Amino acid sequence: MAVMTYREALKAAMVSEMERDESVVMLGEDIGVYGGTHLITDGLIDRFGPKRIIDTPIAEGGFTGAAIGMAMLGMRPIVEMMTWNFSFQASDQIIQNAAKLRYFSGGQVSVPMVIRGPNGGGVQLSAQHTHSLEGFYGHFPGLKVVSPATPADVKGMMISAIRDPDPVIFLEAGALYGTKGEVPDEDEAVPFGQARVVREGTDVTLIAYGRQVNLLHRIADTLAEKEDVSAEVIDLRSIRPFDEATIVASVRKTNRAVVVQEQWRWFSVASEVAAIIQEQAFDDLDAPVERVSGEEVPAPYARNLELAAFPGEQQIIDAVHRALYRRT
């Protein structure tokens, strides 16, 4: 296995699929000559040319709509959102067209496209550039929504996304672009709808996705070393489709659950996870499901305020204590 950054693994997946399949193209703002705001597409215009690496105007609704048309006619476009906030401009195209065309056509027309870009906080981009949109897009049937946390998963899930016959919302954590990990040398697709058990445990189940997974792994180490608490850590990876079975099996083993997310608490992924646990594992619970979420405020720019706005280690440990009835 090679050691790669999240950014390098993501790029490697897209390059491999573009070399394998000539119908794969990319569209987005500054992805060509400039190389992408986050350097994900750096050098690709020299490799594939401007007909496959397409620099677009600042018009998300326009180039997303164009990509939907491409997909309907047999191409496999990858659309980059410079940040997922900018997808609000294209949300009508994504929700009203991309998500519904297979249904509208009675299965005659598919929309095999990927819409990707940085999601969530942690990089001081302030309120207009910092949203966690997994709950928003995960609400709509017809869209697949994934949020990989490791270089290996971002490569494998991007391969799956490009090959998928339906539109995929691919949420990358901008704060993870520079993180490193082992990545298989082969182009191994990681299937959607399968959560990953990051760490086995017996006392409490910690559940997250995206950049919060790494935080939970560190907290599990701390709990084991300082409090003799064995925490199981689960990375959801896929928001829609969702792996209910892995979550329920873990809670039936540990009898307690803490769900962590960056997005706001109300109408969120954590709310859905808590509901699923209550519906399918209520008799196995020894304590209420705890949720740790972002503060109900627009994301601040100042670093100290940004840190306060998103889940931190002590907040999560406090939630674990409540689940274990170790109140301080």
| Beta carbons within 8 Å of 227's beta carbon, 6+ residues apart | none
Rg (CA), the chain: 20
DSSP per residue, 130-189 = ----HHHHHTSTT-EEE---SHHHHHHHHHHHHH-SS-EEEEEEGGGTT-EEEE-SS-PP
State the catalytic residue, choosing from 29, 60, 80, 232: 60
Cα–Cα distance, 195 to 207 (Å, whole number):
10
State the catalytic residue, choosing from 38, 129, 131, 321: 129
Beta-strand runs (E) in the chain:
2-5, 24-28, 53-55, 76-80, 114-119, 144-146, 168-173, 180-183, 196-199, 204-208, 231-235, 238-240, 257-264, 290-294
Query: Could you confirm whether 60 is annotated as catalytic?
Result: yes
Catalytic residues: 60, 129
